[in-house]
């Protein structure tokens, strides 16, 4: 199977029923998570939240499906990223080659994206929302490479590629942890598995996260400014490490397999509560402090319970190969690189068109899917372009090319 960059990497090739080796269910979960992310970003065009481009007629009820998934969608991606990193190390355990691979496979697409894929996104936001009146060419040559804030926006901008940068830094941190003496690593793994045994895999992270959310970071939100993005780091890095541990831990797998049905029920109940509060407190009415605290607690439960439930479902029902799995697993990284730029450009082109929201939605979904497939299918056939979109050189992937 091809080996796209970390979060998008396949698992190892030897089956193992208790953790470790190939797990097709996690492959399908990774593929589905990134496709869901694309649909989520399409939905951002229609909700009454500020985004890079917004439909002229927002759809208030569109907030509800967004609230149903935004508590866990990104943390899930980091967890499957940790799982994929462990799979790569299982195949080739040496740390220096692993780190070099990640620096190249994540760093080059990140630079390529910031230079050529994302620049149009801040230009569209500046022209449509912040009074910028120059064309894109002028913006790119004179304003984009300011390396400073401009009209409330950092330039140059990595936009949605913040995920790739965070993943790269988390991978470097994981490599540093794995460089510790074997005795320390074994001790840490042993205690982590004891602390996360059975229902504690759900309960302990929630018990830690709720006080942090209510008392340390009560009003903070993800801001994609790495040095000050504590909400994101507290949420995502432990999930990344947990995904790494899960790969080869029969203990954690038993905890998920023995508890996921009731965890899924809890996730559904928490999701219903979060959706109800989001519907009952629209943007025109301020939410009370007490209700805000309740909402934050529900979101913590919703987020972690949903992730564990989805892993349990993937393990129980999706752990089998399929004809398109290999190609889809390879395509998710190129899809991720290009999808948001397509959404924003198409959304911008439809401004003032008078098209109904349902027609705009259909056009956005169709154009994004077609554009992503073209980007991937063309890029994978050009040897010089493959590293730019996160794919291995042809010499390394020809023997395992997707069907």
- Do the domain assignments include residue 132? no
- Average confidence (pLDDT) over 312-336: 96
pLDDT band with cut points at 50, 70 and 90 for residue 396: low
Give the residue from 95, 96, 150, 92 showing the smallest Cα distance to 123.
150
For the cut 70, the answer to whether the pLDDT of residue 145 exceeds it is yes
- Do the domain assignments include residue 147? no
* Domains: count for the chain: 1
Q: In which domain, by residue range, is 334 found? A: 6-118+158-400
- Do the domain assignments include residue 145? no
- Do the domain assignments include residue 215? yes
Tens of pLDDT, residue by residue over 196-248, are 999 999 999 999 999 999 988 888 888 889 998 999 999 999 999 999 999 99
pTM: 0.91
Average pLDDT, the chain: 91
- Do the domain assignments include residue 66? yes
Q: State the residue for tokens 């697409």.
A: 109
């Amino acid at each position: 199977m091809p080996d796209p960059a970390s979060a998008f990497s396949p698992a190892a090739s030897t089956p193992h029923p208790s953790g470790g080796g190939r797990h097709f269910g996690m492959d399908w979960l990774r593929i589905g998570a990134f496709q869901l992310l694309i649909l989520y970003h399409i939905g951002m065009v229609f909700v009454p939240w500020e985004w890079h481009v917004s439909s002229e007629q927002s759809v208030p009820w569109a907030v509800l499906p967004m609230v149903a998934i935004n508590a866990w969608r990104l943390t899930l991606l980091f967890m499957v990223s940790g799982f994929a990193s462990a799979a790569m190390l299982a195949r080739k355990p040496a740390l220096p080659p692993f780190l070099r691979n990640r620096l190249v496979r994540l760093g080059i697409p990140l630079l390529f994206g910031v230079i050529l894929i994302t620049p149009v996104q801040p230009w569209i936001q500046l022209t449509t929302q912040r009074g910028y009146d120059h064309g894109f060419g002028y913006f790119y040559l004179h304003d984009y490479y300011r390396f400073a804030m401009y009209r409330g926006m950092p330039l140059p901008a990595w936009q949605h590629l913040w995920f790739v940068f965070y993943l790269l830094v988390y991978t470097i941190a994981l490599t540093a942890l794995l460089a510790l003496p074997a005795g320390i690593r074994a001790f840490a793994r042993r205690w982590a598995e004891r602390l996360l045994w059975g229902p504690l895999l759900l309960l302990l992270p929630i018990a830690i996260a709720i006080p942090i959310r209510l008392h340390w970071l009560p009003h903070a939100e993800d801001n994609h400014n790495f040095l000050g993005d504590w909400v994101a780091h507290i949420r995502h890095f432990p999930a990344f490490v947990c995904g790494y541990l899960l790969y080869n831990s029969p203990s954690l797998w038993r905890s998920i397999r023995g508890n996921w049905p009731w965890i899924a029920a809890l996730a559904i109940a928490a999701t219903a509560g979060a959706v109800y509060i989001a519907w009952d407190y629209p943007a025109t009415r301020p939410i009370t402090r007490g209700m805000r605290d309740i909402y934050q607690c529900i979101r913590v439960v919703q987020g972690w319970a949903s992730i564990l439930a989805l892993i349990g479902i993937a393990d129980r029902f999706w752990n089998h190969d399929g004809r398109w799995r290999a190609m889809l697993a390879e395509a998710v990284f190129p899809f991720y690189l290009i999808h948001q730029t397509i959404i924003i450009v198409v959304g911008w082109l439809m401004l003032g068109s008078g098209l109904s929201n349902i027609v705009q939605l259909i056009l956005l979904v169709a154009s994004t899917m077609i554009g992503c497939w073209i980007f991937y299918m063309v890029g994978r056939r050009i040897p010089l372009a493959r590293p730019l979109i996160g794919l291995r050189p042809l010499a390394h992937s020809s023997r395992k090319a997707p069907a």
